[in-house]
Amino acid sequence: MSNIPSQSTMIIGHRLLTASKSIGLPKLRWRRCLGIVIYTMKYHPEQISAILQGEEKPRIKPSASYTILNLDPQQQFSGIDQKSLAKLVKEKDVGRLLHLGGVERIALSLDTDPESGIGKVTNSDDDNNDDDDEVARRQHAFGANTYTKPQCRSLFSFVWEAFKDPTILILVFCAALSLGFGIQENGIKQGWYDGGSIFVAVFLVISVSALSNYGQSRQFDKLSKESSNVKVDVVRRGCRKFISIFDVVVGDVIWLNIGNQVPADGLLVEGHSLQADESSMTGESDHVEIDSTHNPFLISGTKVVDGYGRMMVTAVGMNTSWGELMSSASRDSAEQTPLQVRLNTLTSAIGKLGMAVASLVLVVLFVRYFTGNTQDDNGNTEFVRGSTTTSEILKAVVNIVAAAVTIVVVAIPEGLPLAVTLTLAYSMKKMMADQAMVRKLSACETMGSATTICTDKTGTLTLNEMKVTKFYLGHEPMAGKISSIVTSVTELIKEGIANNTTGDVQRPSLQADYVFSGSPTEKALLSWAVMELSMDMQEIKQNSTLLHVDAFNSKKKRSGVLVRSNTDSADHAHWKGAAEMILSMCSHYYIASGEVRDLDNEARKTFEQIIQSMAAGSLRCIAFGHKKIEHNAQESDDQPELREEGLTLLGMVGLKDPCRPGVKKAVESCQNAGVNIKMITGDNIFTAKAIATECGILRMGFDDQDGAVILGSEFRSYTPQQRLEKVNKICVMARSSPMDKLLMVECLKQKGHVVAVTGDGTNDAPALKQADIGLSMGIQGTEVAKESSDIVILDDNFSSVETVLCWGRGVYNNIQKFIQFQLTVNIAALVINFVAAVSAGDVPLTAVQLLWVNLIMDTLGALALATEKPTKELMDKKPVGRTEPLITNIMWRNIAAQAAYQVAVLLILQFKGESMFRVDTAVKDTLLFNTFVLCQVFNEFNARKLEKKNVFKGIHRNKLFLAIIGITIVLQVVMVEFLKRFAGTERLNWEQWGVCLGLASASWPIGWIVKCIPVPERPISSYLQSIKRTLSKGATALGFSSS
């Protein structure tokens, strides 16, 4: 059997099994039979050889309850039963895996190379097309890496939700009764108008509300899909590339690093110190060790918390446990933000007031009607005891109830939650275009209240484009003198860089450029080693065996490997990391000639000065350490030891990471907005100071003694009280750990700050969760960090953080604008209806007219005011913080002035309108209705600017606002001039329209004058609380205490 070449066997077997049916059934059967024999020879050569040589008798074994090999030529990847393969990983059955021949045999069945991934390694330009064909073939055979989502809520469900509102149901009931009485009294041609009009108005209100909520739901679903589109580091055709998680297929080889999400179920191909957090699947908080021997199983949806490695995908999408879980999990887009909760409280309070007013109106109207104090359109008394019919009484009662319920509809500001939803959805969409993806709605509004931002340095304030600019060997800079270094030393440096890395070097062809992968630091070191030291990474790896890996993390700030040279019996420990960390592990150092010298105190001080000088030049300092360990054949190889002491310093490099363009301006903008910027970095304190000064976080010539710059270890050593005393002064924290960042956040929150934190590492997750707003990095951020955050900064740029801050303030400001607008309408409508009902026994605005006003202020008003873009003026104000009331003194001043004017004008029209304009009651009521609506239109302009007198500034940029104002005016003209029977209005002449417009436009000069009146900074609510406390003390002093 050994004489048959493996490759030829596979080709012959494949051709025989896939023979065309056109050759005839008998020949087809013989060819398939021979193909099965050849496949058997390939997969079980030892058993076949033993049988042929007479060493073993053939015997039939009972079939197992599962199948992995299935030689059905009608299916692609016919040798794989994907259900059994998926079950293998789900159940973590090591015994079954060994029975199947291990990871290598499964990789062979999946036509996958554990090193180069799927697809053949070629230098062809058509690799992308070949990739697409290969991916399509595997998706057809095993499915795509997507899951069946729960069905989204339909438009009808939103309609039904709006319809179930109690006030709407009462209005529909009243409309039905009114329709019945109208048809009975006046016939179907004339009698349907009153009831039908209310039906149409209710339908409009429900439709607009449902459509708005449905649109926002679709928007949130779209953003949610975007947030789950994780990028995965995959190997295909021998090249590493980043692809969407949705494009991962069975057979793909995936690189996993700390913080990565496992994109699909699979088996570990190779790993070092790999640990996974499986709490999302099992609920167990303990981290699970992943290794090739005891537990090579990786579950989709889990997170890598330590180490790194490669996995081979065995199941995707709905064949994974994660897919099954996500398909059954419903996505709730109706998340209640803190502001919405506060607004619901406000809505409830206003609603109770509206209910009280409506109840009083109902009682007054009933009393007036049944005591004979109301008259119909002809001046006749409506209720006469003994002569008024039951149907007439019921009709009057229905009209009274409808009027009272409509007052409640107008009084309850349903538009407040809608306004929040609209402004959040609008802001989320615009922020996405500004490189910020919102994962939690509450972050939009909370960011507007932020008082402190704790930011990382690398990649956020800097470009994260590392480049080696300095190299020291011993105490000498080696710029331009690489050739003078003895070969043995450069070989050790290259060996350390090639083996102690999570990056990779690829060169598709001799004519092509090198391609470097990994983190920016890894890419910079690999690039330097290849270009300056002529490192051949593949050759170095082939000449050594990796024995042990101590992976890098942000706490240790170093990584190490133990390798065995294939040319001698020695083991070599290689370490790299923060220069002062590696220096503390060294007892000797190399010089360019290859001589090894003792690292005494004087030499150590010289190295420390070199590190400080590079750090002061904004360079990140990385050092390399090495120790040769003679291998004793009698010693056990089970537990190779990676030494951490007695190293020899190979050299140090300085990596330049320039500041981002515009970051200084963004920092100054945040500082001018009253927001403190604190830089928390793991870098050297001198590097941190240099970058902070360059970015504007530290002022030039600052005093080191004022506590502005501190080490993480020093901050950690303080008592809780000392931390609280010093935390406000700190601007820069260097050499900090993730726990130091968490301590900082906790202290700031205890001091009353609203804290935003940026983070990119897995260990940043606690701080991101603890902060009021967690900002993760979209490029360098791990999936753990992103899932712990509220907003993902897609370009890792601090300028985008400033943009998020501005949008957050815009959200809060837009909500305040709408509250001011809506409360003005609420107060005016309630007062005019109550006064008219008590004094005249009738409400001047019909149910249909009030529903139209409700539509204007709730939906159209929310659309107009909630979609204003943030202005630069918002960044000139102090942050709101935690304690600022939602309705400020400035807002109360504006509301009081506009509401008082509207009430005064409407009451004059109600009681003197007929005599002043010499019109009948119907025209007077139309004048009142028209003036009331136009007052709201003009007041919408006032609401655009809470403090500024020029309410028209920038209005040309808000086309939606202008469109809504135009639509409102057009519809109002239609209501008055063309829908007499529907709206209960009379046509107005040009003079009367001019009067209405004149009265309404007076709100503009009134708004201008009112804004000249200063208001106290102390909130009105605090005065009320002081009065309440004073009264309580007085009552206690007089002996009226509750005790």
Return the active site residues. 456
Q: Write out 54-122 in H/E/C secondary structure.
A: CCCCCCCCCCCCCCCCCCCCCCCCCCCCHHHHHHHHHCCCHHHHHHCCHHHHHHHHCCCECCCEECCCC
Maximal CA-CA distance, the chain: 124
Q: Cα 961 to the chain's mean position, in Å?
A: 28
Long-range interactions of 365-368: CB distance < 8 A, separation 24+ = 365/400, 365/403, 365/404, 365/837, 365/841, 365/842, 365/843, 366/397, 366/400, 368/841
Buried b (16+ CB within 10 A) or exposed e, 484-502: ebeeebbebbbbbbbbbbb
Beta 303-315 vs 515-517: how paired, if at all? unpaired
Helix (H, G, I), strand (E, B) or coil at 463: coil
Q: In this structure, are strands 586-590 and 647-656 parallel, antiparallel, or unpaired?
A: parallel
> What distance in Å separates the CA atoms of residue 851 and residue 198, rounded to the nearest whole number?
8
- Tell me the C-alpha distance between 619 and 614, whole Å: 5
CB 260 within 8 A of CB 244: no
C-alpha pair distances (Å), 505 with each of 112, 780, 946: 21, 19, 58
Q: Label residues 671-702 b or e (16+ Cβ within 10 Å = b).
A: eebebbbbbbbbbbbbbbbbbbbbbbbbeeeb
d(CA 112, CA 121): 11
Residues in contact with 383: Cβ distance below 8 Å, sequence separation at least 6, in sequence order:
369, 370, 372, 374, 393, 396
Long-range CB pairs of 212-215, under 8 A, 24+ apart, other chains included: 212/418, 212/421, 212/422, 212/859, 212/863, 213/158, 213/161, 213/162, 213/418, 213/421, 214/153, 214/155, 214/158, 215/425
Q: How far is CA 981 from CA 176, 267, 365, 480, 914, in A?
A: 17, 74, 24, 93, 21
Please give the Cα distance from 147 to 322 (Å, whole number): 9
Q: Tell me how far apart the alpha carbons of residues 788 and 96 are, in angstroms, rounded to a whole number.
A: 37
Pairwise CA distance, residues 111 & 40, whole Å: 17
Strand partners, 777: 793
Q: What is the distance between the alpha carbons of residues 928 and 908, in angstroms, rounded to a whole number?
A: 9
Mind giving me the DSSP string for 393-411?
HHHHHHHHHHHHHHHHHHH
DSSP-assigned states of every residue in 473-486:
ETTEE-TT-GGGS-
Which amino acid type is present at position 1008? W
User: What radius of gyration do the chain's Cα atoms show?
Assistant: 38
Dig out the tokens for 320 from the structure. 């994974």
**What are the backbone dihedrals phi and psi of residue 653, each rounded to the nearest 5 degrees, phi first?**
-125, 150
* Secondary structure letter of residue 876 according to DSSP: G
Query: How far, rounded to the nearest angstrom, does the alpha carbon of residue 333 sit from its chain's CA centroid?
Result: 13
Determine the 3-state secondary structure of 308 from DSSP. strand
Note the Cα 710 to chain centre separation in Å.
32
CA–CA separation, 865 and 477 (whole Å): 62
Q: How far apart are CA 780 and CA 201, in angstroms?
A: 53
Q: Structure tokens of 99?
A: 């029975």
